[in-house]
Amino acid sequence: MNAATARIERTTSAYRAGLTLLIAAACYEAVARSGAFPAALLPTLPKVASTLWALILDGTMLEHAGYTMYRVLFGLVLAVAVALPLGILMGRFRPVENFFLPLASALMPIPSLAWVPVFILWFGLGNTVAILIVFYAALFPMLLNTWSGVRAVNPLWLRAAGAMGADERALFWKVIIPGASPFIITGLRQAFLRAWIAVVGAEMLAASDWGLGWVIFDAKEFLNADVMLAALAVIGAIGFLFERLVFGSIERATVMRWGMVRTAKG
Amino acid sequence: MSAPVRPHYREAMSDLAPAASPTVVAAASARRGESRLKVVARTAFPFLVVALAWEVTAHLGIFPRKLFPPLEEVAAALVRLTADGVLPHHVLDTLVRLLAGFALAAVAGVAIGFAMGRSRRAEDVFLPLVSIGAPIPGLAYAPLFLLWFGLGNMTAVLLVAFVSAFPIIFNTWTGVKAVKDIWVRSAQAMGADNRRLLHHVILPGALPYVLTGLRLGLAQAWRILVGVEMLAAVSWGLGWMIFGAREFLNTDVMLAGVVVIGAIGLALEKLVFQRLEQYTVVRWGMMS
């Protein structure tokens, strides 16, 4: 396929994608304006946009988003701080693996939200519960991916590095860590996705006064569907930005530069 | 000329990238060829240590007994609830909801994914919608669904279906695109019509991905359902059981519920999907 046809096809795709979104928005707008459903339940798009704008301008939305980010990042950092060393140890030392792997496989199938009521009883409503739930949700993807990454390092590389006189420290930093990095980054991504889901649920259930999940849940009481949709848009935008910008650039700066994975090219 | 892979694809699909699954975990111990007894003992050891630590903490009375019950109380709660039929009722309702939601998602997700994989037009239409919907955590939709569909079963089932449809769509789509071009062309050269092409080449070729999608979808459904049951105030269901127990400080009931939830999650993964994989893709030599 030559470049010109590819470009034409890409333009057609972009055009069709835009058209789809427009049509979807128009359909929604038509249904909302038809009055078949109460306006409080199905607000029109301009109303949602103006609510979002107003909430951003008076700073409440930013504060909610700030609280949510604080909880997610705190929990995520905790999870990485525990899971990364533990995963590496599990991958390198058999006894550590033998001890922690069964525990991890038993705890993993329990959804993080199932712990919410237990944690509420133990720690009360508020930040602690949300952070711990995020920690729990993010821990296992990180742990298992690190572990399999370390185990997946090609033994040939280890032996080659050893033969060329690398000591334990060099082996660890120059061979094992770069070799395991695609898995570790995948783990981090999955951990963030899980954490992002968990924080919204935890905020709804263990409500404190701030947080995007709490806004959505609280808006239900007052039938403020516009606030809900506005908060949904913010949640989606933050999740999307993180996925694209943060993890995309981490990946480019590490594994792609080291040639561990190739970029998706047609 | 291979089908161009869209740049979106890799980003949207972090679930497909090299990832550890519980299958890997199980395989690791089997591979070493140790005696069965030794494997059992080695697996049981960490649980014994943790249980012992729990027991000691509970009996020392550092935390109120109501909040941190010893394991025998949790076990007693489990037995009591099972015997009087409360727990089975909760489990049954939860499973029915899960299956209803998941079945909806599987049918819709595989159909949309297939259409996206086979037709450029369908891909252009659905991809933007799916890419917008997917990054929003499923539970964030819960209050909206509650508002639209009211408290109860309807909301829970629809939300589970909606949320678990995304991984199914993405994986089916990728799977259909990943079918080797040369298989399709050789089948066509040997005179396969569209129907046979679909049935004998594309379906088996995409199946490993479709199964991955279904598995991820089911896991997603399970995680969401527990949360939804807490929010949607259904009258029966495991999520509700543990959330309701909070009111009366019944930590033993909660922990018993958490154990059951974990066991069901594990069973779904091990019994349902590994079996299914054995019978299809592994037998067909698509995967080892």
Q: A256 falls in which pLDDT band (50, 70, 90)?
A: low
ipTM: 0.77
Question: Per the structure, how many domains does chain A have?
Answer: 2
Percent of chain A exceeding pLDDT 70 equals 94
Q: pLDDT tens digits, residue range B209-218?
A: 888 889 888 8
- In the predicted structure, residue A77 carries a pLDDT above the cut 90: yes
Residue A135 is predicted with a pLDDT of 94
| Amino acid residing at A112 | S
Residue B111 is predicted with a pLDDT of 93
Which residues 145-164 of chain B have a CB within 8 Å of chain A? 146-148
- What's the whole-model pTM score? 0.81
Same domain, B80 and B193: yes
- In the predicted structure, residue A136 carries a pLDDT above the cut 90: yes
Residue A81 is predicted with a pLDDT of 95
- In the predicted structure, residue A80 carries a pLDDT above the cut 90: yes
Residue B106 lies in a domain: yes
How much is the average pLDDT of B122-138? 83
Same domain, B128 and B169: yes
Chain B residues within 8 A of A112 when measuring between CB atoms: 223
How much is the average pLDDT of A119-126? 84
Beta-carbon separation of A110 and B18 below 8 A? no
Same domain, A151 and A223: yes
How much is the average pLDDT of B214-238? 85
Question: Per the structure, how many domains does chain B have?
Answer: 2
Q: B279 falls in which pLDDT band (50, 70, 90)?
A: confident
How much is the average pLDDT of A105-133? 87
Residue A121 lies in a domain: yes
| Amino acid residing at B195 | R
> How many Å apart are CA B51 and CA B236, to the nearest integer?
30
| Residue A86 or residue A9, greater confidence | A86
Same domain, B94 and B202: yes
Residue B266 is predicted with a pLDDT of 85
Chain B residues within 8 A of A239 when measuring between CB atoms: 135-137
B64 touching chain A per CB within 8 A: no
- The domain of B251 spans 67-282
Chain A residues within 8 A of B227 when measuring between CB atoms: 111, 113, 116, 201, 204-205
> How many Å apart are CA A55 and CA A230, to the nearest integer?
9
Same domain, B52 and B186: no
> How many Å apart are CA B116 and CA B118, to the nearest integer?
6
Beta-carbon separation of A16 and B125 below 8 A? yes
* Mean pLDDT (chain B, rounded): 80
Q: pLDDT tens digits, residue range B164-204?
A: 999 999 999 988 888 888 888 888 888 888 888 888 888 88
Residue A87 is predicted with a pLDDT of 92
Residue A266 lies in a domain: no
- In the predicted structure, residue B9 carries a pLDDT above the cut 50: no
Same domain, A231 and A122: yes
Q: B7 falls in which pLDDT band (50, 70, 90)?
A: very low
Beta-carbon separation of A111 and B226 below 8 A? yes
* Mean pLDDT (chain A, rounded): 84
Same domain, A232 and A128: yes
Beta-carbon separation of B231 and A223 below 8 A? no
> How many Å apart are CA A59 and CA A41, to the nearest integer?
25
Residue B19 lies in a domain: no
Residue A264 lies in a domain: no
Chain A residues within 8 A of B16 when measuring between CB atoms: none
Distance from CA of B28 to the nearest CA of A (A): 10
Same domain, A63 and A22: no
> How many Å apart are CA A191 and CA A197, to the nearest integer?
10
Instruction: Name the residue in chain A with its Cα closest to that of B244.
Output: A117
Distance from CA of B204 to the nearest CA of A (A): 23
Q: B105 falls in which pLDDT band (50, 70, 90)?
A: very high
Q: pLDDT tens digits, residue range B140-162?
A: 888 888 888 888 788 889 999 99
Pick from B43, B251, B269: which is nearest to A118 by CB? B251
How much is the average pLDDT of B220-238? 84
- Which H, E and C letters describe chain B, residue by residue? CCCCCCHHHHHHCCCCCCCCCHHHHHHHHHHCCCCHHHHHHHHHHHHHHHHHHHHHHHHHCCCCCCCCCCHHHHHHHHHHHHHCCHHHHHHHHHHHHHHHHHHHHHHHHHHHHHHHHHCHHHHHHHHHHHHHHCCCCHHHHHHHHHHHHCCCHHHHHHHHHHHHHHHHHHHHHHHHHHCCHHHHHHHHHCCCCHHHHHHHHHHHHHHHHHHHHHHHHHHHHHHHHHHHHHHCCCCCCHHHHHHHHHHHCCHHHHHHHHHHHHHHHHHHHHHHHHHHHHHHHHCCCCCC
Same domain, A206 and A242: yes
Residue B204 is predicted with a pLDDT of 83
How much is the average pLDDT of B238-246? 85
Chain B residues within 8 A of A147 when measuring between CB atoms: 20
Residue A84 is predicted with a pLDDT of 92
Q: B241 falls in which pLDDT band (50, 70, 90)?
A: confident
Residue B286 is predicted with a pLDDT of 63
Same domain, A27 and A43: no
Instruction: Name the residue in chain B with its Cα closest to that of A23.
Output: B125
- The domain of A18 spans 1-36
Residue B11 lies in a domain: no
Instruction: Name the residue in chain B with its Cα closest to that of A99.
Output: B46
Residue B245 is predicted with a pLDDT of 84
Same domain, A48 and A25: no
Same domain, B49 and B132: no
Same domain, B183 and B43: no
How much is the average pLDDT of B94-104? 92
Among B46-60, B133-147, B226-240, name the most confident range.
B46-60
- In the predicted structure, residue B26 carries a pLDDT above the cut 60: no
- In the predicted structure, residue B109 carries a pLDDT above the cut 90: yes
B243 touching chain A per CB within 8 A: yes
Same domain, A27 and A63: no
Percent of chain A exceeding pLDDT 90 equals 15
Contact between A153 and A97 (Cβ < 8 Å): no
